[in-house]
Structure 1
């Protein structure tokens, strides 16, 4: 009897380990032993496998470097930071310079493995659809397949943006295959998202039953397709998405989200983020959430991987001030971003912790590298008024892995600005809506332009893992010019020079290292990206 497993290089895994998530469909019993002969028979089996696909996405950032963290460190929004006595892996990332930490050739190694494990789960379910006895419920099959294909597209999009050249697997396989041309990967992404947007029932995220929060919707597929279109056509200088999606089609999908999705902007920007709003927090799954990755506080060191393991990286190093919890001090905010906000822009204090402006009693900089006086507020670990980390209040003593704030991957504001960028007849209106919410009483009209849209996107989506890819899709030279700088930071309280070279960024084409363990396991079939 053949057990279901995946092999990436020499790494094997049991097919399905299900994690629990708060208030969501991911609360289900774990399946510990399944085989191809006794599984994938009933819709119930399919649903269990689908939960495994969602769980796979949930854990891809549990170890290594999470994409929402990496995309900020790589951009002009933050520096690498971390502890002053730590290694220099985050400086290597920030400065696109492998000489800063030569031993960190596998910085993304855990992520590579986790992405392929998650991809395996999706491929297995997608390829077993004909084996399942659906009866007369053809829509249920379409829904489950759409969700699995969306998740596969999401995973592949992360992977192809991080590494550019990846082995493309669309069926469960242990073969040692070479990297594919990115166009082949984008073709699968586009096909999956087109399938999902055409076959999902038009139920919007805010209207879902609480138990289904976190599940993919038709509108999430349409919105992600818009994001993929803009990145692919920008980064690769193409006019359409691998011949499958035109600009008009991408815009049509986004307009459908706007017209029929039932989404809206939360009135106060700060209320989108727990640490910025406290009691006024709009809550998870609010009307602005198009797609989010769900987390809960039940992570432990015994196999439960349900928490937001990456949020602790941006916390203030070794110090906490209600409501901000402590963390590892990575992603110190570049003062240029703080200064880019207008005085009346509510996103400034809604997004960034300013030690001086908030009069926080910062005791010592001795443990912080690349201190700037600014930290991330949107995804800050939090403490209660009693000084205890919020995971502790829920019975989890492991604050570093017990963070549970969801990652809001796609917000309605992004849909509005993408539609504006793609030339909607309502472009100025959409642009104004985002700015009016941010500027409130200080709002003054600004004529829409590509330059102004990109500036607005930086201010709106800071620390949400979007800025770096917005830069790359403007061209690697433009991105390098925006990111490169020579400035002064404080390392352990001492002044130090910080240098980010445009040439390093251009040499890598903005891509990350293929983990060397994977190159070795492939016996050289995998080739390293230029510049590394």
Structure 2
């Protein structure tokens, strides 16, 4: 696997450099053209692996890409307004500037994945295949392109979009404009629908772990339709069920029926984050794969999340003076009493320079990680607890309260908590914090999926932007940290378009409101 990823990186650099030179030179006899590269099915596989490798970057959707998701939410944040010119702090302080270099880095990294997927999809049919892998490789590239577009459209709204490689300056200029959000969703759904009918294996074999499966495609289709219903169709404002909700229900139910286990309660919560079980845990649908002890492809998150003086995440004490991966007190206080997920997900550091909470969810305490903390955690991108809670959400929108609660209780029971009926009728604290089913489902998602890069998108899906402003402003500033809750406004529904993009064409690359 390591060799494949290294080859994939080299391939991407060759393609990138060749394209860049073509802008400057009419002909370069030393350049390797795209058509010359795609000769065998092995070349296609390496190019596809390049798509995955670009996706797993922390500037894209990697394990430490939380700056663009969780740190935008009420779960965590950069509680430091000085480091790196204060740019990371802008995300959870709701003071993002279009010139923010981290934001621009994220934008570029995401579009690099799309460009690579476009190359695979444009050239795969030109290669002779000796077996049935062509439709599978095509489906995986479509899946990845749809995934990135889904992240982009939720973060920026209208975005530039192209489904073919851009090889000349004129093509780039012609494509430099923002496409309306509904059209982006149409492309996402088209890609995923095609992938769903491609013959992908329902579950990838262990040796191919990290590649898209039919489970993953159905998961994403269900999530896309649910988001489209809630945000574009007005679902979170009480709109009647429609075809998008029906589609969400269909694909999420299909994914749920593809599970290889009987009951969620038979899978310990911690198995999803256990290095020794990452290849066998049936709850995991799709994950970013890391190699324990490998200096290039190891997981950083266990060591990087650990605070000074602690040994919970990795088996050695870190020398650094950092406070680790910060947790807001707002999240700490949301967990119910005796919820074992709270104990696993976050730890209080008593070190005199820290004395605060840090993330311990993705720990790797085995000696195999070495003194450098080269962890072996796979990062979960999709798992069945998420599917179950989305089905609870779907049934809530349908008005099928009993079915929604049934799904909600599957997750609560696995966590060892009382049922929703018991908590909502006998626990005064629960009743006060979560007075209706919608807030109870949102709470369960927060408790179950903390730090897995879902919270910000959940908030956008569960609330209209005006209601979200009210929700965020109701928080206790003391539980948020240095970031100012009062800064949050309707403009923060989307990120600003990076300055370097708007100056290309201020009319067609118009800025989002409020920036």
TM-score norm. by structure 2 comes to 0.79
Separation of aligned partners in 1, 2:95 and 2:347: 28
Asked if 1:409 corresponds to 2:409, the answer is no
Give the alignment partner of residue 377 of structure 1, picking from 345, 353, 360.
Answer: 360
Quote the residue 2:2 is aligned against.
Answer: 20
Deviation at 1:172, TM superposition (A): 0.8
Quote the residue 1:61 is aligned against.
Answer: 59
Deviation at 1:407, TM superposition (A): 1.7
Q: What pairs up with 1:455-466 in 2 under 5 angstroms?
A: 455-466=443-454
Q: Secondary structure at the match of 1:59?
A: coil
Deviation at 1:330, TM superposition (A): 6.2
Quote the residue 1:185 is aligned against.
Answer: 184
Separation of aligned partners in 2, 1:224 and 1:218: 10
Separation of aligned partners in 2, 1:63 and 1:438: 28
Quote the residue 1:450 is aligned against.
Answer: 438
Deviation at 1:105, TM superposition (A): 2.1
Contact between 2:206 and 2:279, CA under 8 Å: does it hold in 1? no
Contact between 1:69 and 1:465, CA under 8 Å: does it hold in 2? no
Give the alignment partner of residue 166 of structure 1, picking from 152, 159, 179.
Answer: 159
Distance change in 2, residues 1:20/1:338 (3 Å): same
Contact between 2:312 and 2:360, CA under 8 Å: does it hold in 1? no
Give the alignment partner of residue 286 of structure 2, picking from 291, 309, 329.
Answer: 291
Quote the residue 1:431 is aligned against.
Answer: 408
Separation of aligned partners in 2, 1:236 and 1:142: 32
Give the alignment partner of residue 336 of structure 1, picking from 327, 330, 348.
Answer: 330
Q: Where in structure 2 are there 5+ consecutive unaligned residues? A: 15-31, 237-241, 425-435
Contact between 1:239 and 1:246, CA under 8 Å: does it hold in 2? no
Contact between 1:229 and 1:250, CA under 8 Å: does it hold in 2? yes
Deviation at 1:414, TM superposition (A): 0.6
Name the one with the larger strand percent.
Answer: 1
Q: What pairs up with 1:23-172 in 2 under 5 angstroms?
A: 32=11, 33=14, 34-59=32-57, 61=59, 67-82=65-80, 87-98=85-96, 105-134=100-129, 137=131, 139-172=132-165
Q: Secondary structure at the match of 1:46?
A: helix
Separation of aligned partners in 1, 2:304 and 2:177: 34
- Equivalenced residues, count: 461
Contact between 2:158 and 2:178, CA under 8 Å: does it hold in 1? yes
Asked if 1:420 corresponds to 2:392, the answer is yes
Distance change in 2, residues 1:245/1:282 (3 Å): farther
Q: Secondary structure at the match of 2:358?
A: strand
Deviation at 1:350, TM superposition (A): 1.8
Deviation at 1:475, TM superposition (A): 1.2
Distance change in 2, residues 1:310/1:115 (3 Å): farther
Q: Secondary structure at the match of 1:108?
A: helix
Quote the residue 1:506 is aligned against.
Answer: 490
Quote the residue 2:248 is aligned against.
Answer: 250
CA shift digits 1:136-179 (9 cap, x unpaired): x4x42221111110010111111112222321021111503111
CA shift digits 1:396-444 (9 cap, x unpaired): x5x5xx554222011100111112221288544322211101125x556
Separation of aligned partners in 1, 2:416 and 2:192: 34
Distance change in 2, residues 1:418/1:489 (3 Å): closer
Quote the residue 2:477 is aligned against.
Answer: 487
Quote the residue 1:197 is aligned against.
Answer: 196
Distance change in 2, residues 1:45/1:86 (3 Å): closer
Distance change in 2, residues 1:407/1:511 (3 Å): same
Quote the residue 1:315 is aligned against.
Answer: 306
Q: Secondary structure at the match of 2:260?
A: coil
Separation of aligned partners in 1, 2:58 and 2:146: 14
Contact between 1:226 and 1:250, CA under 8 Å: does it hold in 2? yes
Q: Secondary structure at the match of 1:410?
A: strand
Asked if 1:270 corresponds to 2:270, the answer is yes
Deviation at 1:476, TM superposition (A): 1.1
Separation of aligned partners in 2, 1:392 and 1:433: 38
TM-score norm. by structure 1 comes to 0.76
Name the one with the larger helix percent.
Answer: 2
Separation of aligned partners in 1, 2:38 and 2:148: 22
Distance change in 2, residues 1:121/1:82 (3 Å): same
Separation of aligned partners in 1, 2:360 and 2:247: 36
Report which structure shows greater RCO (CA 8 Å, sep ≥6).
1
